[in-house]
Chain A
């Protein structure tokens, strides 16, 4: 088991944030950092996944493993994530249907996109297996499956030139923004909630920056120099989100996705804000880690077991939503729901480590 480190810590924080934000309407939602910026925990999560691929595809001495080994590793991880997505989708649908039956309340069947499944199970079950039918809040892992699936391409290109990998990724991102390319939802109209063609940029960025960070002191020097710029961007993000200032998507010029704040397409404003967050906070871990020991241990443990914790977090946040609806909510319920959830996330991470008892490098 690796010691607490910045990557696991921030990933743990992203996991906790996603868990809390996926219980909409709860009291603690307004205290997560997602409410105070243009980008949110999803960006952090995907970026760190890319960074982790960089770490995972090296051996302990820092030498890159063979291309074949890396591709094999990524493929195996893709399958693992797919399996997790199918498992939590089945559990979620069963929880929704079960609650609707127990409470004799068909309203619950309309829970974020689940109505499609219960209305037309024949087509929709195919969509679930194809990942083209996604429940609300259960759409990050499908993105992750696609990203890990295409990651070998970027990893191979990066063996020859990191700049080429980044260029390829940027070109795909820019074209998808201008042309509004996205993967389709099915059955039904519409597209994926997280457009993999755009979000791949964050994964590749994480992967390439990890490499540069390791090799060249220049990146670290400049990141340090640009901390003030990062702080300015973060402050600007706080102002924009608190006052809900954002461009009107019907008034911006074409191609409009260049200008809007759109999560689906990871529009430039979100990307710039996220880079600002990175710059502003990349030195913070070293400073706070000694001061908040137990929290660092807890969050790092979550981060080390991110797939299991994320999956359990999805289930627990859905359970939290159902409990809030059933009981009517309120501060006490929120404290119990979120408290039990955080305990559940910690227990999940502990359980996974207890069961494996050997370090496993995760992509």
Chain B
């Protein structure tokens, strides 16, 4: 992809919350799935999602893009436990009850009543572009999950690996997971002020977005969500380490909720007719993108 359209996508991503107000309401499912989740927020996609804890409230458009989760749905239909593998830089550690995997398991079980969710958390050393993708395959083979929730991009961004190498490796790995009838949810890297103007870093975030769309997998936009929260959370109470660290703290605490929201809403996505191989997100309007904005539509 040439750089210019990609830049417009970024501009779209970075549009102020006010601009996004014009987007039409979304999330009206054609047919409710088996009664497993509360209905999605009936409010506009750009009002803060009230199903989230007050401090974590972010409009849906800034929080996720949705896609079908066939393997999880199948597990639900068969009334068996849903096995979830979370992969990411922070998810591999800490078993205290406050930690992300435990929060995630709790949040998912609350959203999917009477479903047993088993979350396995693993850290992943290294870059997707070199080696880590291989280890991820080994992890998936070891755990054999129904769903992989993959916090991706941090290590590659820190190593400043070449953008295309990152995107290609990510794309290939997501395709591999899907080829084994395992669902994937991607989570992009965090937002912090000192990186807001870092073009390379924004490109990494954008690459994750592009791969999620190309492979039709749900994406939790941690970057956008935290950016939104950062705008609203300036209460002046000085964190010991400074505001960006407090924001990160908050982002961590909210991530389990955000991921859960994206998953439960994705489960409401209607099953595709016919072969069912088409990219669902591509068929429908990019409902959680501010598509009606004046800015050029993202290149497909």
Residues of A within 8 A of B (CB): 23-25, 29, 100-101, 103-113, 115-117, 119-120, 122-124, 133, 136-137, 139, 180, 185-190, 193, 246, 248-250, 256, 260-264, 321, 324-325, 328-329
B27-35, B192-200, B265-273, B288-296: which one contacts chain A? B192-200
Is there a chain A Cβ closer than 8 Å to B50's Cβ?
Answer: no
Assembly CA distance A122 to B95 (angstroms): 11
A116 touches B244 (CB 8 A): no
Contact status A328-B200, CB under 8 Å: yes
Question: Given the complex, which residues of B lie within 8 Å of A120, measured CB to CB?
Answer: 93-94, 96, 98-99
Residues A188 and B135 in contact in the complex (CB < 8 Å), given A29-B130, A180-B142, A324-B159: no
Q: For the complex, what is the distance from the CA of A23 to the CA of B167, rounded to whole Å?
A: 20
Given contacts A189-B121, A249-B138, contact A117 B93 (CB under 8 A): yes
* Contacting pair B160 A119 (CB below 8 A): no
Question: Are A328 and B160 neighbours in the complex by a CB distance under 8 Å?
Answer: yes
**Contact pick for B130, options A24, A180, A190, A329, CB 8 Å:** A24
Number of residues of chain B lying within 8 A (CB) of chain A: 52
Shortest CB–CB separation between residue B137 and chain A, in angstroms?
Answer: 5
A-B contact list, 29 entries, CB within 8 Å = A23-B159, A25-B127, A25-B156, A25-B159, A103-B194, A106-B190, A107-B154, A107-B157, A110-B158, A113-B89, A113-B93, A116-B92, A120-B98, A136-B123, A136-B155, A137-B125, A187-B94, A188-B92, A188-B93, A188-B121, A188-B123, A190-B121, A246-B134, A249-B137, A250-B140, A261-B134, A263-B135, A264-B135, A328-B160
The reply to whether A190 and B96 contact each other, CB–CB distance below 8 Å, is no
Interface residue? B90 (CB, 8 A): yes
A111 to B90, CA, bound (A): 9
Given A101-B241, A106-B244, decide whether A193 and B93 contact each other with a Cβ distance below 8 A: no
Total residue contacts A-B, CB cutoff 8 A: 149
Shortest CB-to-CB span from A256 to chain B, Å, is 6
Seen from chain B, the residues whose Cβ lies within 8 Å of a Cβ on chain A are 89-90, 92-96, 98-99, 101, 120-123, 125-127, 129-130, 134-135, 137-138, 140-142, 144, 154-162, 176, 180, 189-190, 192-195, 200, 241-242, 244-245, 247-248, 252
In the assembled complex, which residues on chain B have CB atoms less than 8 Å from the CB atom of A133? 93
Task: Give the CA-CA distance A120 to B180 in the complex, in Å.
Answer: 35
Q: Least Cβ distance of B128 to chain A in Å?
A: 10
Q: Tell me the minimal C-beta distance from B287 to chain A in angstroms.
A: 29
Known A116-B123, A190-B123; judge A110-B159 contact (CB<8 A): no
Contact between B122 and A190, CB atoms less than 8 A apart: yes
Top-8 shortest CB links A-B: A116-B93, A136-B125, A249-B141, A115-B90, A120-B94, A25-B159, A106-B248, A110-B89
